[in-house]
Structure 1
């Protein structure tokens, strides 16, 4: 299964509550924080919610 490397590139300040909670659920707490998640529909949906705040790269498993 493919993995996604998700990096927060912009601040959550000024975002909606849903966007802030989505970043927390993804495991991102500050700018330049990075996490890896499985490429699943649920994760893709969360990324779509905060797409303007994060950078996503595919990583080989």
Structure 2
């Protein structure tokens, strides 16, 4: 399966609890951290819900 690299480029400060929990579920702990995930529908849905905070690298 394909993988997706995702980078956190905006802070989670002043974001809703659901957005913060989504970032935690994706594995983000620090700003500018890059995480690689399998491109499953659930992961892609989480990325889409917080896409304004992320940068997707393929």
Indicate whether 1:44 and 2:35 are aligned: no
CA distance in 2, matches of 1:29, 1:54: 13
Indicate whether 1:56 and 2:56 are aligned: yes
Structure 1 segments unaligned to the other structure (5+ residues): none
CA distance in 2, matches of 1:49, 1:19: 8
1:9 counterpart residue number? 9
CA distance in 2, matches of 1:45, 1:12: 18
CA distance in 1, matches of 2:30, 2:52: 15
Q: Give the aligned length.
A: 58
RMSD between aligned alpha carbons? Answer: 0.6
User: Greater helix percent: which structure?
Assistant: 2
What is the SS of the residue equivalent to 1:35? strand
Segments of 4+ moved more than 2 angstroms: none
- Matching of residues 28-43 of structure 1 within 5 Å: 28-43=28-43
